[in-house]
């Protein structure tokens, strides 16, 4: 399950464990392709918390992390950013990237 987060809840939503936040917007074509991949991964990787943040409704968080293009997936481990994945990625590509943080 992917949880929708916002500027007010982002820090608390991504404070513990391994978190992946999908930064997206309704007008973004590649974001629409990325979204089902994130949904699938959220069902296959129970040890990872998946969230998504609409950048149009929540401009503060993307600005805080210097996110200039979407889709961007921000990977945090125990509240610390450990990776930033920019652009569309397949399920296998994302699984491979995330596997280095789940071991």
Sheet of 72-77: strands edge to edge?
A: 2-4, 48-54, 18-24, 72-77, 80-86
- Going by C-alpha positions, the residue among 59, 38, 49 that lies closest to residue 16 is 49
Distance in angstroms (rounded) separating the CA atoms of residues 44 and 58: 28
Q: At what angle do helices 91-102 and 29-44 cross, to 10 degrees?
A: 50
- Going by C-alpha positions, the residue among 17, 29, 11 that lies closest to residue 87 is 29
Q: Which residues are catalytic?
A: 28, 31
């Amino acid at each position: 399950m992917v949880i929708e987060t916002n500027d007010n809840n982002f820090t608390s939503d991504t404070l513990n464990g391994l978190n992946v936040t999908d930064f997206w917007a309704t007008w973004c074509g590649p974001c629409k392709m990325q979204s089902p991949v994130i949904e699938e991964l959220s069902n296959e990787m129970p040890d990872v918390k998946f969230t998504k943040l609409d950048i149009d409704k929540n401009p503060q968080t993307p600005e805080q992390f210097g996110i200039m293009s979407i889709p961007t997936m921000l990977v945090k481990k125990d509240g610390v950013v450990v990776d930033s994945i920019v652009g569309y990625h397949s399920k296998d590509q994302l699984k491979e990237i995330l596997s280095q943080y789940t071991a």
